[in-house]
Chain A
């Protein structure tokens, strides 16, 4: 298995707040990596550093080194839009655009210059199929995406991310706003998708991490306490704090 992302000696400050401290981490290709930890521990912050969404936050300062396939993504002259095309993202709250299902999925390809109707049709159908929502929306492609249920909207957002043909998909608590059935579907989908993509998922839900992830990273107060194979972390945690967290003693 090859390393997709490597993070070395990375520190992140929001103004005076030291949000991530000396983070070192390798994220492997074609795996699902789960970020776990209590609220405010920095897991979402790290996730959003991987596609540079933190650039939007004023006085957010990052030092250290984050590499995607060996290339420093914070190097001067990096094409941030290209980076975000390669590293797609699914947000905590489903955020389909207020336009048709079709236009939502076609947004990424159109952004990156696909104009031909036939090509777009093909990408839209494939993305929706890959996101396991095609059958539910194929008869209403041209109706507003806002009419879909929450779970459908989230799968649509995954389809939308897939349509941009990314290599990595970042998922920021993708099921926290969903019911158990929709959650199960998204989890199944994530496990399907790891064949073709690398997935990094922030989750609050311990069971979810054990169910879907191959590797787990445990964060506490801006530091990585422990990382490794999910099985190992949950059955034989090396650190007392990890053990306390996964057994539900805090967080």
Chain B
């Protein structure tokens, strides 16, 4: 019987290994052929001319993700604090399902929402700067919304898991409710907060469909947040359908880069956690 459990557990390991092998086997030769640095740092992506530089997409992914975190994290953290320590039960029963519903909405639907609501909004905002509606700002606003339930879902339980004695200890020293929550409870929930942010980061980085629908997808270096951008994920999805030969391998190599990013995020996260434990 134990063997059945072991086999089940091995499925995950096998999948990760296979994905790694597949990505590297197909992506690395392409990188070698294109030239490692030409591929990573090249600023031109012209498959028709066999020029494959993905630097604009790397920058695009980082911009969009970073901006999404900048907007989403504060809202998510404040929401989580509110839910755990301020919110009356009656309101909690309204807000919590709303957030859970937010997590269940398919990303295509987010994309529609972006096209219908955010794109015109950003177009109006960006008018004075010669901006577009389909832009970095639009994509990151949409991602900021999409990562809310992810972050809140991790951070709220982390805040609730902080022993009540910290909160009471702080109150007993004459601290206000607010100070007790932010100065005594939140530092104790730090690793949970970090975990939530990293999870949100991963989600934002990997999100594809919603981003494609509002980002403009121009494979060139962005000149401002009101300009269109293509992300790593977007690059793969946009062209995979018709790509062949080196073009196809270059897209898989794009996947390798994405994979390495996610790996780095995870490593950074476990390093943070180790430091936290000490």
* Residues of A participating in the B interface, judged by any CB pair closer than 8 Å: 51, 53, 56, 81-86, 88-89, 91, 93, 95-99, 107-108, 111-112, 157, 160-161, 164
Which residues of the partner chain B approach A99 to less than 8 Å between Cβ atoms?
A: 187
Beta-carbon contacts under 8 Å, B122-180 to A: 163, 165-166, 168-176, 179
Residue-wise interface mask of B (90-113) relative to A, using a CB-CB cutoff of 8 A (1 in contact, 0 not): 000000000000000000000000
A53 and B172 in contact, given A95-B166, A97-B187, A98-B188 (Cβ under 8 angstroms):
yes
Which residues of the partner chain A approach B163 to less than 8 Å between Cβ atoms?
A: 95
- Select from chain A the residue with minimum beta-carbon distance to B276: A98
Interface SS, B side: helix
In the bound complex, CA of A85 to CA of B174 (Å): 4
Total CB contacts across the A-B interface at under 8 A: 64
Of the residues A56, A98, A107, contact of B173 by C-beta under 8 Å:
A107
Chain B residues bordering chain A, tally (CB within 8 A): 17
B169 near A97: Cβ-Cβ < 8 Å: yes
Q: Would you give 5 A-B contacts (Cβ < 8 Å), ordered by A?
A: A53-B168, A91-B165, A97-B188, A107-B173, A108-B175
B188 near A56: Cβ-Cβ < 8 Å: no
Which residues of the partner chain A approach B165 to less than 8 Å between Cβ atoms?
A: 91, 93, 95
In the bound complex, CA of A36 to CA of B147 (Å): 53
In the bound complex, CA of A157 to CA of B170 (Å): 11
A107 near B184: Cβ-Cβ < 8 Å: yes
A88 near B172: Cβ-Cβ < 8 Å: yes
- Select from chain B the residue with minimum beta-carbon distance to A96: B169
In the bound complex, CA of A96 to CA of B188 (Å): 11
A161 near B173: Cβ-Cβ < 8 Å: yes
Would you give the shortest CB distance from B166 to chain A, in whole angstroms? 6
A95-B165, A97-B166, A97-B184 known; 10 new pairs, CB 8 Å cut-off, are A81-B175, A83-B174, A84-B173, A86-B174, A97-B187, A97-B188, A107-B170, A111-B179, A112-B174, A157-B169
B171 near A84: Cβ-Cβ < 8 Å: yes
Beta-carbon contacts under 8 Å, B169-223 to A: 169-176, 179, 183-184, 187-188
Most buried by B among A51, A95, A164: A95
In the bound complex, CA of A160 to CA of B168 (Å): 13
